[in-house]
Amino acid sequence: MNTQAFDEALNRHYAPGDVWARIVERLRAAGHDPAQLTRDVAAQFDEFHGGGRESTRALARFAGLTPGLRVLDIGCGIGGPARTLAAEFGADVTGIDLTREFVHAATQLSARLGMSAETRFIHGSALALPLAAGSVDVVWSQNMLMNIPDKAQFASEVARVLRPGGLFAFEAVVLGVGEPHYPAFWAATPALSFLVTADALRGTLTAAGLEENRWLDNTAQVVAVAHKRLAAAGKEGPKLDIGTLVPEQVGDKMRNGLRNNEEGRTLAVQGIFVRRA
């Protein structure tokens, strides 16, 4: 697949339709005024990864984030993690994402939450970051690496934009034993899925000049959250859950995510790497 075809396929996967219009519609159906949004309401759907807002907080604590850091969130989705980092950890966050509809929705949500000064969102690729060398204190990424075919190029871009001593903090789904079940949240079929093992990922990051600092397998926590989400999804009535962002096959994607982790086909990991001086 060439770059343009890949970008289009990724946009179709993550945004079949008008994402912002669907968010507004779901908010209204659940009895919320989109003009009077709070972060707690948005958190029900704006953190698009296995552990939800709690795992963003856990990763930020794992990384030891302190106020005032310049953070680049690669594959920022609709900006929930960026807003958590800004509001709760005092970060100044730029989010970048290849899915245009997500960048638009992220910008709309931050504006409505009064967070446009400390969070901003741009459309672009993780493989060609439009940022100067050494301009970022922390590169952040949650559940995006599974869509990256060329992980060496990704790692080289992360190392380039980080200042020496800066941190790469991420969580990702990695390959365990056996083929994952699809559709998954990150890819409806294997065509958009580029899973690697934990060891392969560590090796690629290290080769790019990023030194491993901390590593955690948090599969058990992600499994616990998935059980709760599945139980809540089965209840009657309007919902502001992950289905707000994922209109197609959401039940199958939820169940497959859980099966993949429970059967050891995938693992959920968090890592902190330091840019060598």
Ligand X SMILES: C[S@@+](CC[C@H](N)C(=O)[O-])C[C@H]1O[C@@H](n2cnc3c(N)ncnc32)[C@H](O)[C@@H]1O
Footprint on this chain of ligand X (rule: CB under 6 A): 10, 14, 47-49, 75-77, 80-81, 96-99, 102, 125-127, 142-144, 147-148, 185-186
Phi, psi of 223 (to 5 degrees): -65, -45
Q: How far is the CB of 277 from ligand X (least distance, A)?
A: 27
**Nearest residue (CB) to ligand X, 50 versus 165:** 50
**Nearest residue (CB) to ligand X, 9 versus 230:** 9
Q: How far is the CB of 73 from ligand X (least distance, A)?
A: 7
Looking at the chain, list the stretches that DSSP marks H as alpha helix, in order from N- to C-terminal side.
3-14, 19-29, 39-42, 52-63, 80-89, 100-112, 151-161, 198-207, 219-233, 250-262
The two structure tokens encoding residue 231: 């139980």
Q: Which residue is nearest to ligand X (CB)?
A: 77
Between helices 100-112 and 3-14, what is the axis angle to 10°? 50
Phi, psi of 67 (to 5 degrees): -60, 150
The two structure tokens encoding residue 83: 């807003």
Q: Which amino acid is at 249?
A: Q
**Nearest residue (CB) to ligand X, 27 versus 85:** 85
As a whole number of Å, the end-to-end CA separation of the chain is 36
The residue whose two tokens read 């005024």 is 33
**Nearest residue (CB) to ligand X, 98 versus 222:** 98
Cβ contacts of 177 within 8 Å, gap of 6 or more: 264, 265
Q: How far is the CB of 149 from ligand X (least distance, A)?
A: 9
Q: How far is the CB of 154 from ligand X (least distance, A)?
A: 8
The residue whose two tokens read 């901003």 is 120
Q: How far is the CB of 76 from ligand X (least distance, A)?
A: 6
**Nearest residue (CB) to ligand X, 97 versus 137:** 97
C-beta of residue 63 within 8 angstroms of C-beta of residue 167? yes
Closest CA to 256 of 191, 183, 192, 156: 183
Q: How far is the CB of 4 from ligand X (least distance, A)?
A: 13
Count of CB atoms within 10 A of residue 266's CB?
Answer: 27
Q: How far is the CB of 273 from ligand X (least distance, A)?
A: 17
**Nearest residue (CB) to ligand X, 76 versus 131:** 76
d(CA 85, CA 217): 22
Q: How far is the CB of 236 from ligand X (least distance, A)?
A: 27
**Nearest residue (CB) to ligand X, 33 versus 208:** 208
**Nearest residue (CB) to ligand X, 73 versus 137:** 73
Closest CA to 172 of 254, 266, 268: 268
